[in-house]
Amino acid sequence: MAIYLKSVAEIETMRQADLIVAKVLAAVRERAKPEISTLELDQMAEEMTREMGARPAFKGYQGAGPYPFPGCLCTSINEEVVHGIPGADRKLREGDILSVDFGVVLDGLYGDAAITVPIGKVSPEAEKLLRVTEESLQLAIEHAVVEGKRISDIGAVIQDHVEAAGFSVVRDFVGHGIGRALHEEPQIPHYRSSAHNERIRAGMVLAIEPMVNMGTWQVEAAEDGWTQLTRDRKLSAHFEHSVAVTKNGPVVLSRLSEGE
């Protein structure tokens, strides 16, 4: 499938969409405390999104799951890697880590980002997992999202950083292009893959989202058909940014600037 390059105007609209994503995720981070349910976080996210004039991108999404996704947020706790479904009975506990993936549609263009939040005080091992995962994303943006490099360079940077820390990179889920659709070409593995060797060009917008496990990289589906779990039930972390490629280097669309 073709890779669609975005115009300056499209990237500006995507920036506005991603600002909404970033503001909602910041509010989720602030409110994610012990005893709150993931459904309460989801309801807050939907209300904020609609007040800002956008539509939640994930609610009703028909992806690989057996039915349309029921939430606005993907809320994945501890050994849940991605696609966790918000629920009134899913109350956060001291020491949990919560992965929150969120997207919106604004004027026909998509924004998408993810964070992993410590709930209260977490273990030193969990703190390291979150730090290394977020670092791997930032290193990839700084060193690999450059015109002329290849998509495979992104995964190489991430894999090297993650494995040097003793963790593993999920293989079953990858990053993606984003724009008029939530998932566009190219696919972006977060590990070395010669199958995805496209040149990076100005006008691409890439959603890069390493999912990093404390143990094995292997995952399996939960009974709900959506939630993905680490096979060994060890912790998993997930961070994501939508990044525009420009002649002057990468621009992180889903990062709040001071004062925003």
Using one digit for the tens of pLDDT, what is the confidence trace for 207-256? 999 999 999 999 999 999 999 999 999 999 999 999 999 999 999 999 99
Q: Read off the pLDDT of each residue in 15-39 and give the average, rounded to a whole number.
A: 98
pLDDT in tens, 90-136: 999 999 999 999 999 999 999 999 999 999 999 999 999 999 999 99
> What is the token pair recorded at 207?
């959603």
Question: φ and ψ at 168, to 5 degrees?
Answer: -135, 155
Q: From CA 103, how far away is CA 255, in angstroms rounded?
A: 13
**Cross-strand pairs, 106:** 109
pLDDT at residue 259, as a whole number: 64
> What is the token pair recorded at 65?
């799951």
Write out the E strands in the chain.
55-56, 73-77, 80-82, 97-106, 109-118, 168-169, 175-177, 184-188, 205-208, 211-213, 219-221, 228-230, 236-238, 241-246, 249-252
Give yes or no for residue 196 having a pLDDT over 80: no
Question: φ and ψ at 179, to 5 degrees?
Answer: 175, -105
Q: From CA 222, how far away is CA 219, in angstroms rounded?
A: 10
Nearest CA to 76 among 55, 112, 102? 102
pLDDT at residue 257, as a whole number: 82
Number of H helices, E strands in the chain: 4, 15
Question: φ and ψ at 164, to 5 degrees?
Answer: -65, -25
| CA distances to 62, 105, 174 from 151, in Å | 27, 25, 12
**Cross-strand pairs, 250:** 245
pLDDT at residue 245, as a whole number: 98
pLDDT at residue 1, as a whole number: 67
pLDDT at residue 197, as a whole number: 85
Nearest CA to 21 among 100, 83, 112, 108? 112
Q: From CA 183, how far away is CA 5, in angstroms rounded?
A: 14
Give yes or no for residue 154 having a pLDDT over 70: yes
Give yes or no for residue 260 having a pLDDT over 80: no
pLDDT in tens, 41-94: 999 999 999 999 999 999 999 987 899 999 999 999 999 999 999 999 999 999
Q: What are the residue boundaries of the structural domains of the chain, listed by start?
A: 8-251
Please, what is the Cα angle at 253 between 10 and 69, to 5 degrees? 85
- Indicate the fold that domain 8-251 takes in CATH: Creatine Amidinohydrolase (3.90.230)
